[in-house]
């Protein structure tokens, strides 16, 4: 019978979801349930010297903290394991294994410090621990680099070496390829582990493939977590692994105990902070890149999914596996800058707006709550009405200004009907028409301010354009300004930007500055509804 052991990483990898703050009662419950289920190895959290001890968190500064959290627990036949990200804990903070509740330590090995990390593993082994080497982001290694690392680990006499698919990029054939490299280089008694992530929904099927399609005399170690709880798309569900092992490997894991873990603790966490297969994790995995890249672009809410996918495809190989905010912002701006000669479009609009006042309708709550005031202003002043990245029922816009591709895609069907009734579309060059052509297209890069944290804030872009077109009077309605309180900035909560409340003060100050500068240049700008922009 093939030698397969299971490792429960709920308290460690699951901690990325809730900052390891399970609560002491839940920590002990999860451990005791896993022990009762008969799980072979249980990862009980991180050791990280940069954190302060907190009995409610499964991350602790040293091995003394392990004893404070778990002291008195009966681990029965299970082996208790902690993880260390190499470089976060000096060896002096780790007591000898004979004085510890821990049986083993897993060491996260990053490619650039792999030599030093293997040396740290040796030092832990000398202290009496079972040592597990965890080379993260394994897809970032060439075959030659992986063979070299495998030899170093083998020479160090460690207990296990894992295939760590940090970003869930591996399919079956790639997984078996890495396995074969390790299998050739490791002594026969060294376990080969597999730590999966579920970006492609392959964590479980890959785990089964590794068990069924590798040679019987190589001991294996398969990671899972209750309900798949874990970073980003999550891990392989432990309850599925125990069920498979019982049916096909003659094991006697008590799956009901894992189900009790889920019912008494994990489901409550999932309800607040869900993990699992999501579009953003699919996008990053399909482009072999760090998940924060897709998260960063999706939070902007200015791009269609197709555009996000295309930007991720532009990332250079050397930048893919370590998130670089400055780099991805540069790619975003480069992608948006579909430079065009817009002189004809500008001349056309200048002629259309000559001598006219323009009312811009914004998406703040006052566009609804102060509708009577706005309607009265429209009746008295008879301005040209322009909405911005959305359309308001009943306000009768003459123009819509589009600078946000995502908003446009949401509007495109209804927009065509409005255009048939006379609505004209002014779009920036980063927005691509789904049907036909827009009435006017303006160069995107001519309107943005790269010195601002949010360079493509739509109101400053439109104000700059109208001022450049010679419009002398602009009225603003529904531009309430940003609040630091989440989900209160728009009349429609679905329009909220995730970043807006974090940048509220900066956005207000910046927009007010743009308005002051344009006023100084001779453009009259008034507020029909109250706005925070007036206070700066």
CB half-sphere exposure, 320, CA atoms < 13 A: 23
> Is residue 440 within 8 Å of 452, Cβ to Cβ?
no
**pLDDT for residue 387:** 92
Between strands 524-527 and 104-109, the pairing is unpaired
Nearest to 407 by CA among 363, 460, 466: 363
**pLDDT for residue 487:** 53
> Is residue 20 within 8 Å of 58, Cβ to Cβ?
yes
Alpha helices in 301-402 (DSSP H): 305-312, 325-336, 343-353, 366-369, 371-381
Q: Given the structure tokens 């399909």, which residue do they identify?
A: 286
> Is residue 192 within 8 Å of 183, Cβ to Cβ?
yes
**pLDDT for residue 367:** 84
The whole-angstrom separation of Cα 239 and Cα 231 is 18
**pLDDT for residue 336:** 81
Nearest to 65 by CA among 41, 95, 26: 95
> Is residue 221 within 8 Å of 193, Cβ to Cβ?
yes
**pLDDT for residue 408:** 83
> Is residue 159 within 8 Å of 169, Cβ to Cβ?
no
Q: What is the CATH number of domain 4-272?
A: 3.20.20.70
> Is residue 88 within 8 Å of 139, Cβ to Cβ?
no
List the strands of the sheet with 473-477, edge to edge: 440-442, 424-428, 399-402, 384-388, 358-361, 473-477, 524-527
The whole-angstrom separation of Cα 163 and Cα 182 is 9
Residue 333, number of CB atoms within 10 A of its CB: 16
**Phi, psi at 427, each rounded to 5°:** -120, 145
Residue 244 to residues 138, 241, 254, 312, 514, Cα–Cα distance (Å): 26, 5, 12, 36, 63
pLDDT digits (tens, 9 = 90+) for 417-432: 888 888 999 999 888 8
Residue 256: Cβ-neighbour burial (10 angstroms; 0-12, 13-18, 19+): middle
pLDDT digits (tens, 9 = 90+) for 360-392: 998 888 888 888 999 999 999 999 999 998 876
Alpha helices in 213-365 (DSSP H): 238-248, 255-261, 267-272, 279-286, 291-300, 305-312, 325-336, 343-353
Question: Which two tokens mark 422?
Answer: 């006379």
The whole-angstrom separation of Cα 418 and Cα 528 is 25
The whole-angstrom separation of Cα 95 and Cα 73 is 19
Q: Given the structure tokens 């209160």, which residue do they identify?
A: 488
Helix, strand, or coil (residue 237): strand
**pLDDT for residue 340:** 81
**pLDDT for residue 501:** 54
The whole-angstrom separation of Cα 421 and Cα 416 is 9
Question: Which two tokens mark 380?
Answer: 């008295």
| Residue 8 host element (H or E) | strand 4-8
Residue 374: Cβ-neighbour burial (10 angstroms; 0-12, 13-18, 19+): buried
**pLDDT for residue 485:** 65
**pLDDT for residue 230:** 95
pTM above 0.85, yes or no: no
pLDDT digits (tens, 9 = 90+) for 434-488: 778 899 999 988 888 877 777 788 999 999 999 999 999 999 998 888 776 655 5
The whole-angstrom separation of Cα 481 and Cα 279 is 31
Low-confidence ranges of the chain (pLDDT < 70): 392-394, 484-502, 536
The whole-angstrom separation of Cα 262 and Cα 60 is 24
Spans of all domains in the chain:
4-272, 281-336, 343-535
Residue 12, number of CB atoms within 10 A of its CB: 24
Would you give the end-to-end CA distance of the chain in angstroms? 74
């Amino acid at each position: 019978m093939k030698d397969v052991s299971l490792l429960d990483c709920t308290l460690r990898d699951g901690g990325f979801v809730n900052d390891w703050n399970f609560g002491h009662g839940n920590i002990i419950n999860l451990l005791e349930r896993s022990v009762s289920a008969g799980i072979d190895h249980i990862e009980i959290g991180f050791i990280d010297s940069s954190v302060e001890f907190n009995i409610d968190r499964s991350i602790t500064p040293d091995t003394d903290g392990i004893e404070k959290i778990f002291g008195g627990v009966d681990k029965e036949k299970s082996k208790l394991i902690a993880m260390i990200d190499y470089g976060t804990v000096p060896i002096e903070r780790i007591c000898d294994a004979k004085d510890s509740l821990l049986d083993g330590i897993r060491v996260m090995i990053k490619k650039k410090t792999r030599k030093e990390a293997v040396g740290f593993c040796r030092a832990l082994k000398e202290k009496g621990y079972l040592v597990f080497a965890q080379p993260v982001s394994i897809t970032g290694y060439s075959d030659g680099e992986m063979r070299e690392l495998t030899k170093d680990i083998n020479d160090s006499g460690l207990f296990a070496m894992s295939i760590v698919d940090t970003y869930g990029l591996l399919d079956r054939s790639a997984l078996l390829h890495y396995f074969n490299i390790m299998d050739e280089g490791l002594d026969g008694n060294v376990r080969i582990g597999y730590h999966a992530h579920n970006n492609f929904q392959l964590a479980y099927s890959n785990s089964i493939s590794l068990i069924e399609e590798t040679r019987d005399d190589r001991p294996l170690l398969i990671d899972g977590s209750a309900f798949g709880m874990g970073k980003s798309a999550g891990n392989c569900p432990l309850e599925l692994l125990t069920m498979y092992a019982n049916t096909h490997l003659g094991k006697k894991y008590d799956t009901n105990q894992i189900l009790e873990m889920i019912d008494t603790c994990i489901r409550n966490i999932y309800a607040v902070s869900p993990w699992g297969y999501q579009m953003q994790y699919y996008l990053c995995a399909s482009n072999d890149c760090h998940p924060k890249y897709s998260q960063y672009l999706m939070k902007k809410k200015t791009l269609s999914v197709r555009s996000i996918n295309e930007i991720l495809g532009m990332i250079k190989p050397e930048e893919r596996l370590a998130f670089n905010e400055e780099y991805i912002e540069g790619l975003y701006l480069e992608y948006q800058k579909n430079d065009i000669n817009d002189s004809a479009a500008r001349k056309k609009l200048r002629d259309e707006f000559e001598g006219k006042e323009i009312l811009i309708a914004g998406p703040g709550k006052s566009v609804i709550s102060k509708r009577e005031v706005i309607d009265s202003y429209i009746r008295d002043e008879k301005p040209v009405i322009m909405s911005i990245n959305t359309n308001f029922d009943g306000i009768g816009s003459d123009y819509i200004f589009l600078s946000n591709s995502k908003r446009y895609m949401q509007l495109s069907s209804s927009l065509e009907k409005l255009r048939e009734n006379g609505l004209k579309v002014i779009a920036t060059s980063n927005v691509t028409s789904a049907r036909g052509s827009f009435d006017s297209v303006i160069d995107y890069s001519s309107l943005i301010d790269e010195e601002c944290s949010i360079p493509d804030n739509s109101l400053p872009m439109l104000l700059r354009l109208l001022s450049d077109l010679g419009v002398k009077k602009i009225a603003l309605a529904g531009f309430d300004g940003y609040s630091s309180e989440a989900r209160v900035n728009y009349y429609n909560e679905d329009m909220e930007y995730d970043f807006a409340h974090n940048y509220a003060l900066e956005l207000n100050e910046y927009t007010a500055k743009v308005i002051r500068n344009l006023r100084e240049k001779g453009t009259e700008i008034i507020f029909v509804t109250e706005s925070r922009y007036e206070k700066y």
